[in-house]
Structure 1
Amino acid sequence: MPDVNPYSLFALYRPATPLTGLLTRLREQGLAEDAIELLTGTPLREASSARWKGIPVYLITLLSGLVGIGMGILFAAGTAVLYPIFTGGKPIVARPVVAIISYETMMLTAIVMTFAVLLVGLPAGRRGDGQYDHRVGDGYIGVVVRVEPQKVDEEKVYRTLELDDPVELRRA
């Protein structure tokens, strides 16, 4: 019976190694985007532009701010409806009051939701393979490739990683 559990290959490259060709060759072998992970101390242009990373944080902040404005209007108008006070012709729901309450709830929901999304999203972004090398913090570039034996030939992937002369190449 063939081995069906995916396992990883880890390659460590020097800081000046161009990875565009390596990533292209790995994709040509049938590896999915989520099977290749780059470990760097600083962001790489070719790696960051090659993948879709989900909903941007600023969009989440804007949407939760709009929800906060709606909540603020609901709080101000809802209080006036729940507790009717006769004011002698003055508006019970004054615009400055609604504006202040809406602003406060907008900021509160935007900040809390952004923090919550980042708190949930940061651990989810890591695969947890345990593949890390302390030299990545010194500028080296780590490439982790998850190989599924029934889909991709592991030896071909290993030879492809060897082409760019890694400092270290190991199976995990």
Structure 2
Amino acid sequence: MEQGAHAVSSPYVPPQPLTLRINGTEHQLDIEPRVTLLDALRETLHLTGTKKGCDRGQCGACTVLVDGQRINSCLTLAVMHDGREITTVEGLGQQDQPHPMQQAFMDCDGFQCGYCTPGQVCSAVALLDEIKQRQASAVTEGEQLEPASLSEDEIRERMSGNLCRCGAYPNIVKAIHSVVLRQA
């Protein structure tokens, strides 16, 4: 250390009490405030369906729903979601009765290695709500989006935050489109 330089130390911040409502179940935790939601889900609560891909918010493998909105759980702190409704891929359906989007991914072979699939599915479920609410995207034409006229370009735009290293995009789009058409 140079003469005159002072060591900088981070002040200790004790774990904070926190209630995370995940997949309909409340979890009372004492968690260090710098823990990401992703790490709280995977390391503390052992909900490992949500994947750590890039850990920088660029790949979407960690996508979960918070109050129905998709977020990258690697970019947000767990303490920021005290009392909010969090849905992970584990909370979308049951093993004997998967969510329609999970079933469509299986029916349409919307995955290869499967690593990105939990984030893709969570993002696609949020997409369904966006379509129902007729929310516009960068490629939406006209003032209102009609679910029955949802284009592949529209789906690709809305799913652009979720990457698939295997390149299963055509089948992912097909899976999402099939669910949208069934719900239209």
Q: TM-score range by the shorter chain?
A: under 0.3
Structure number with the higher helix fraction is 1
Q: Give the TM-score taking structure 1 as reference length.
A: 0.27
Larger Rg: 1
